[in-house]
């Protein structure tokens, strides 16, 4: 029992780390294509994108649903501030499809997770009504 819980917690942590990585890469990609302040040499994002990235990381860190959910982007409980949510939406819209080119493995994992999450949501809705 104890062992099972540890494995689960580790899995959740791994998922959290992976989500943070994907989101950061997406923001970096967006910044690289949109903002002149992006530093190509060091891969440093502009201040606004760094802020968004930190914010996304913090939300993920504090997310109490990490075990059940997949991504903050498709989470039903939107804990993002409206302003940040709008920003992250723009980033996802732009970088989502492009992730396939730059980070195919991460992108596929993201898609697989999203599909699974949507199916789960449908099942849940079917059960309750």
The residue ranges that bind Zn ion (CB under 5 A) are 31, 35, 46, 49
Cβ closer to Zn ion: 31 or 56? 31
- Nearest distance, CB of residue 40 and Zn ion, angstroms: 12
How would DSSP label each residue in the chain? -HHHHHHHHHHHHHHHHHHHHHHHHHHHHHHHHH-TT-BTTTTBPPHHHHHHHHHHHHHHHH-TTTTT---GGG-SS--S-HHHHHHHHHHHHHHHHHHHHH-HHHHHHHHHHHHHHHHHHHHHHHHH-
Cβ closer to Zn ion: 31 or 66? 31
- Nearest distance, CB of residue 19 and Zn ion, angstroms: 20
Cβ closer to Zn ion: 20 or 70? 20
- Nearest distance, CB of residue 90 and Zn ion, angstroms: 11
Instruction: Tell me the β-bridge partners of 44.
Output: 39
Cβ closer to Zn ion: 37 or 67? 37
Radius of gyration of the chain measured on its C-alpha atoms: 16
- Nearest distance, CB of residue 41 and Zn ion, angstroms: 15
């Amino acid at each position: 029992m104890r062992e099972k819980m540890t494995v689960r917690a580790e899995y959740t942590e791994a998922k959290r780390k992976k989500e943070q990585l994907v989101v950061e890469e997406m923001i970096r990609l967006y910044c690289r294509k949109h903002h002149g302040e992006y530093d190509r040499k060091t891969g440093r994002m502009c201040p606004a994108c760094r802020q968004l990235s930190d914010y996304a990381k913090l939300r993920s860190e504090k997310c109490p649903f990490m075990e059940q959910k997949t991504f903050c982007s498709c989470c039903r409980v939107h804990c993002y501030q409206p302003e940040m949510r709008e920003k992250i939406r723009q980033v996802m819209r732009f970088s989502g499809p492009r992730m396939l080119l730059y980070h195919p493995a991460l992108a596929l994992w993201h898609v697989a997770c999203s599909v699974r999450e949507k199916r789960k949501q449908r099942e849940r809705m079917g059960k309750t009504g």
